[in-house]
Amino acid sequence: MTADVELIIDVPRLEEKLILEELGKLGLKFKLTNAKYTPLVWGERPAEVSLIRAVSMQRAAYCAAIREASGIRAINSAEAIVVAGDKILTLSRLWRAGIPFPETLIALNSEAAERAEKMIEFPVIDKPPIGSWGRLVTLVRDPQSFKSVIEHRELYQSQALKTHLIQRYVDGGRDLRVLVLGEEVLGVIWRSAASGDWRSNVARGGLVEVAELDEELRELALKTSSVMGGEFIAIDVFRENGRYLVNEVNGVPEFKGFMEATRINVPRKLAEYIRSILRR
Amino acid sequence: MPVLKCPICGGDVEVPDDALPGEFFEHDECGSQLELEVDENGEMRLKQAEEISEDWGE
Ligand SMILES: [Zn+2]
């Protein structure tokens, strides 16, 4: 029998438990698939909708692609997960759509990064195109530290981890996180770095507080979500001199901190959104 | 709450009733990161958690 929703996970977190709870409360039939233990085949239709919640971007993208090919609605789509999962692909989308982000240079290896040094003004943020939770994201204040960052990244086997996004550092100690579901902007929070850390990811112990959603930010968020081809998307935004700059986009968003700050029941919203799709 | 054995130190680990397959737990006594595995018969056991990979995140 085909379920209403398949929840695809690899390492379940609090978010996934809350989603299961809310799906159950709305009376939706769900199936839990752990992609780490379950072989996947094309043509299989375990549910009408697959909600993709794997923490590994590769796994998330592959699961979405296989389910989509089999005629299942994947949330998010494989395309949105792949593009959001790679910061260079993301910024390319944003640029084409005219969505502003901090000035960024791409260096595809160490030599290019060394040459980029002469084109930039410190401080900068250096980060690889993939990964999250602030891993390998470095605030670089001078050419000397930039050299050691380049040397360190050269030690990795992975091509992606040898690749540099060199981005103008936006000061302020905090950023905004906007959560978009379908055509609705659910809300926005400020995320501040825990003391002693300049990164504001909640996973690193950052602080959260509810923020005001103005019309400009609402439009920016909806446009960003739409150019990413996403349905459930988190957008991290800087506010600088009265304007908004998109920092990152997340295709499998975490929302513990968002729920804490806004008191919005995100899993409930997700379950209701899925129910509305099933009724169409 | 089921009590399982830590595969690293042999100590007891309490796993909450709503634990899901694949969920990570830290064993306070030895600091190990553990992962809950459930086999076809519904038997639960803990194993050393999968290492965080470069593409993990949100
Ligand atoms: Zn132990």
pLDDT band of residue A211 (cuts 50, 70, 90) is very high
Is residue A276 situated within a structural domain?
A: no
Using the predicted structure, report yes or no on whether residue A212 has a pLDDT greater than 80. yes
- Per-residue model confidence (pLDDT) at position A76: 98
CATH of the domain at A260: 3.30.470.20
Residue A72 CA to ligand 1 centre (angstroms): 41
Looking at beta carbons, which residues of chain B come within 8 Å of A36?
22, 50
The predicted model gives A75-98 an average pLDDT of 98
Using the predicted structure, report yes or no on whether residue A1 has a pLDDT greater than 80. no
Query: Does residue A19 sit in the same domain as residue A77?
Result: yes
How close does chain B come to A136, measured CA to CA in Å? Answer: 10
In contact, B29 and B14? CB cutoff 8 Å: no
Query: Does residue A260 sit in the same domain as residue A196?
Result: yes
CATH of the domain at A27: 3.40.50.20
> Nearest-CA neighbor of A6 among A51, A38, A41?
A51
How close does chain A come to B17, measured CA to CA in Å? Answer: 12
Predicted ipTM of the assembly: 0.91
Give residue for tokens 């800087």: A238
C-beta atoms of B58 and A250 within 8 A: yes
Using the predicted structure, report yes or no on whether residue B8 has a pLDDT greater than 90. yes
- Per-residue model confidence (pLDDT) at position A196: 76
Query: Does residue A181 sit in the same domain as residue A266?
Result: yes
- Per-residue model confidence (pLDDT) at position A53: 98
Give A117's DSSP letter: G
pLDDT in tens, A128-155: 999 988 899 999 999 999 999 999 999 9
Tell me which of A137, A152, A168 is where a domain ends. Answer: A168
- Per-residue model confidence (pLDDT) at position A182: 98
Tell me which of A168, A191, A220 is where a domain ends. Answer: A168
In contact, A183 and A113? CB cutoff 8 Å: no
Tell me which of A168, A189, A205 is where a domain ends. Answer: A168
C-beta atoms of A135 and B57 within 8 A: yes
In contact, A194 and A257? CB cutoff 8 Å: no
Using the predicted structure, report yes or no on whether residue A87 has a pLDDT greater than 90. yes
C-beta atoms of B22 and A12 within 8 A: yes
Please give the single-letter amino acid code of residue B14: E
The dihedral region occupied by A224, where left means phi > 0, alpha psi between -120 and 50, and beta the remainder, is alpha
Query: Does residue A30 sit in the same domain as residue A73?
Result: yes
- Ligand 1 ion local residues (Cβ < 5 A): B 6, 8-9, 11, 27, 30, 32
Give residue for tokens 């390319």: A92
Please give the single-letter amino acid code of residue A105: L
In contact, B35 and B13? CB cutoff 8 Å: no
Lowest-confidence range among A79-93, A110-124, A173-187, A197-211?
A197-211
The predicted model gives A148-165 an average pLDDT of 96
Query: Does residue A12 sit in the same domain as residue A60?
Result: yes
The predicted model gives A181-193 an average pLDDT of 96
- Number of domains forming the structure of chain A: 3
Using the predicted structure, report yes or no on whether residue A177 has a pLDDT greater than 90. yes
Is residue A277 situated within a structural domain?
A: no
Return d(Cα A123, Cα A146) in angstroms, integer.
Answer: 10
- Per-residue model confidence (pLDDT) at position A73: 98
pLDDT in tens, A217-257: 999 999 999 999 999 999 999 999 999 999 999 999 999 99
Structural domain including A253 reads 172-271
Average pLDDT score, chain A: 96
Query: Does residue A265 sit in the same domain as residue A197?
Result: yes
pLDDT band of residue A199 (cuts 50, 70, 90) is confident
Query: Does residue A151 sit in the same domain as residue A179?
Result: no
Query: Does residue A50 sit in the same domain as residue A11?
Result: yes
Using the predicted structure, report yes or no on whether residue A195 has a pLDDT greater than 80. no
Q: CA torsion angle for A30, A33, A39, A45 (degrees, to 10)?
A: 20
Query: Does residue A193 sit in the same domain as residue A233?
Result: yes
